[in-house]
A = this chain, B = another copy of it.
């Protein structure tokens, strides 16, 4: 039976893969159950609805990404190297997704932001918070670089916002072109946005 202890993580994992590959609207609970190998009753034992699963997938994905960002951005390297580590890791994730599934899956949060804004208020609100948190994390490192004099931007939070926007835009191109190589120049764009072009 599906109500064994591993049904919930199986559903979450299948939900995350399918959301990344096919988006929210196109997805049905039956398809998620089939991919997870659990009966429908098991799904509804753990989740009230497809929306509830999507919310859980978002939390799970953000928990993992937050931990990774915190580790990379909180390392003892110089601030710009920490940012570079973050963008390199992001590029690596897209490269790995393409290798595994044949398609660059892009950013789960960016995908859902464009698909569900003005359609699902709860998810939209949560994604707003997540992007603001990402910008806050990047701002902290931009401020360190500013303090040590490596860069001189007029507004550190706005600079961080431009970096996350650039990341989302370039990941959009990588997904559309199905080419992780689109991200090769992400770092040079980052340096330009920080006024730190070599």
How many positions in chain A have a CB within 8 Å of any CB in the partner chain? 49
Question: Are A177 and B128 closer than 8 Å at their CB atoms?
Answer: yes
- Per-residue CB proximity of A140-178 to B under 8 Å, as 1/0? 000000000000011100100110111111101101111
Verify if A58 is at the interface (C-beta below 8 Å from B): no
Shortest beta-carbon distance, A189 to chain B, in Å? 4
Question: Are A170 and B176 closer than 8 Å at their CB atoms?
Answer: no
Report how far A23 CA is from B116 CA in the complex, Å. Answer: 9
Verify if A5 is at the interface (C-beta below 8 Å from B): no
Question: Are B118 and A103 closer than 8 Å at their CB atoms?
Answer: yes
Report how far A117 CA is from B117 CA in the complex, Å. Answer: 18
Verify if A1 is at the interface (C-beta below 8 Å from B): no
Verify if A2 is at the interface (C-beta below 8 Å from B): no
Residues in chain B near residue A106, CB distance under 8 A: 114, 117
Question: Are B161 and A173 closer than 8 Å at their CB atoms?
Answer: yes
